[in-house]
Amino acid sequence: MPDGALNTLDRHLALVGFMGAGKSTIGPALAERIGRPFVSVDAVVEEQTGRRVAELFAERGEPEFRELEERAGLNCLARWPLAVIELGGGALASAETRAALAQTAFSVLLETTPEEAWERVAGSDRPLAGDPKRFHDLYEERRGLYAAAADGRARDVDGAVLAAAGIHVASHASDRLGQLVPGSGPIEVAVDEDVEPLHGDSIRSALGERVAASHTVPAGERAKSLAEVERIWSSLRLDRAGTLVALGGGSTIDAAGFAAATYLRGIAWVPVPTTLLAQVDAAIGGKTAIDIPQGKNLVGAFHWPARVVVDPELLATLPAEELENGLAEVVKTGLLAGTPLWQLPTAEQVRACAAFKAAVCLRDPLDRGERAQLNLGHTFAHALEAASGYALPHGRAVALGLLAALRLSGLDDEVREVEEILRPTAVAVDRDAAWSALARDKKAAGGRLGLVLLEARGTPLVGVDVEPHLVRAALDSLIA
């Protein structure tokens, strides 16, 4: 995987690949998912000339069509706002187009085989799809151009979203960390103390000679303190060409990510999540934070990872209670997506949830709007965690928080579903302490909470103003 553009945050998202790879099908769906306009270069050429591509080939020949295609493509890549841009199968023959892609776009190669592509386009009016042998030869001719331009690869919409966000999800991906961590500078590893004996040696071995040091951090929420982050800062010896790899669950990733965001005013970091909760949620989207006594995640920074490496195989060593912890975030994501993602096998849950959250975060990377939907149930959850002194596991707190949010949403069927799947039980914490923590929630504004509720499954409502006595009653119902 080349070290080109890392993600599409401040770049166009260009879809490249052979004819029949699915660019015109995946492109519009992808654009909708990440909140951008979709632009087809072929469609621009047809609009400008008043002729279909097949007619242009027939009437003017391929060389003139390529000139029109190049001008249209360069114009699209130079325009604002950022878009999802579909380039034709032969567009990368232009050196100027390749240079413009490298400067302005994150390019996703939609992978296909010549056999798959031929099956899709045979019998169509595509000018270069008339002869199967010539078609296969053309595929081989262009394959190197596609590979050289690709910043990421995908075969479906979820895969394109993940690639665009710099997220690599694959079984045994951790074995390839040396290839997947961008750059060539030194690497230091921050590893959860419970994960160290399970995966520490194998991860450092996969990273190879770039590993300069390793740092152990406390397991769980204890990692998310200023004292622990200060210890990481004091131990780091990386320069700005270095990368901090975070190996562990959500707390390790939050703490190490915050350390990376602030050390030398920001160095590259790569989370390698080892819990279900972290793989579907905490490692995605570039939020980093630590806790203070007044509340959870009140001090933090946005710092998008250079890459996220998600290996579902790492979950094989996870205790059952930690899988249950993560399932709460899977259920939350499924409710937001309107799809019962919790019914999928675990590896598919991970991929689908990561892709859903990645798309939301690409639409709103700094949490200034619809990204707030990801806090469904979390306002209550964070209050309960703070009131427990962070002894309450995050997944258990989220399960309870979902109950409160769904009750306030008036969705009785979803309440019963959460009760059946997650089996949340009331927690014994101080009611006043929980209420005080809830009032200090980072989403509060002007003394009002602005809750995330659901109008229906798949239809989140952000910033809902609910009467304080109803919120207090919902919170109290979660406390034993």
Max CA pair span of the chain: 79
Query: pLDDT category, 35, cuts 50, 70, 90?
Result: very high
Closest Cα to residue 282, out of 215, 368, 378? 378
Q: How do residues 151-192 score in pLDDT, each as one tens digit? A: 999 999 999 999 999 999 999 999 999 999 999 999 999 999
What is the reported pLDDT for 440?
80
68 close to 97: Cβ distance less than 8 angstroms: no
Return the sign of the alpha-carbon dihedral for residues 129, 131, 136, 141.
negative
Query: pLDDT category, 60, cuts 50, 70, 90?
Result: very high
Token pair recorded at residue 119? 């099956």
CATH of 370-476, one of 3.20.20.70, 1.20.1090.10, 3.30.565.10, 1.10.3470.10: 1.20.1090.10
Model confidence at 376: pLDDT above 50: yes
Percentage with pLDDT > 90 across the chain: 91
Average pLDDT over residues 455-468: 94
Model confidence at 198: pLDDT above 90: yes
Q: How do residues 204-214 score in pLDDT, each as one tens digit? A: 999 999 999 99
Average pLDDT over residues 408-415: 97
Q: Give CA–CA dist 271/303, Å, rounded.
A: 12
Token pair recorded at residue 181? 């961590």
Looking at CATH, the fold of the domain delimited by 168-318 is given as Rossmann fold (3.40.50)
Q: Give CA–CA dist 172/182, Å, rounded.
A: 18
372 close to 361: Cβ distance less than 8 angstroms: no
Q: Where are the beta strands (DSSP E) in 334-394?
A: none
Token pair recorded at residue 59? 């009437």
Burial of 287 (0-12, 13-18, 19+ CB in 10 A): buried
Q: How do residues 245-295 score in pLDDT, each as one tens digit? A: 999 999 999 999 999 999 999 999 999 999 999 999 999 999 999 998 888
404 close to 422: Cβ distance less than 8 angstroms: no
212 close to 186: Cβ distance less than 8 angstroms: yes
Model confidence at 223: pLDDT above 50: yes
Average pLDDT over residues 33-41: 98
What is the reported pLDDT for 2?
44
What is the reported pLDDT for 443?
63
**CB-based contacts of 445, cutoff 8 Å, min separation 6:** none
What is the reported pLDDT for 310?
98
Question: Is there a shared CATH topology between the 12-164 domain and the 370-476 domain?
Answer: no
Q: Give CA–CA dist 321/41, Å, rounded.
A: 50
Query: pLDDT category, 123, cuts 50, 70, 90?
Result: confident
Q: Give CA–CA dist 182/267, Å, rounded.
A: 12
What is the reported pLDDT for 260?
98
Model confidence at 446: pLDDT above 70: no
Considering the chain, what is the average pLDDT of its residues?
95
Q: How do residues 3-14 score in pLDDT, each as one tens digit? A: 679 999 999 999
Average pLDDT over residues 75-88: 96
Average pLDDT over residues 365-384: 95
Burial of 293 (0-12, 13-18, 19+ CB in 10 A): exposed
Q: How do residues 336-360 score in pLDDT, each as one tens digit? A: 999 999 999 999 999 999 999 999 9
Model confidence at 1: pLDDT above 60: no
Task: Give the CATH number of domain 12-164.
Answer: 3.40.50.300
Domains of the chain by residue range: 12-164, 168-318, 370-476
Helix (H/G/I), strand (E/B), else coil: 448: strand
Average pLDDT over residues 126-150: 92
Distances (CA, A) of 347 to 141, 154, 340: 36, 17, 15
Model confidence at 442: pLDDT above 70: no
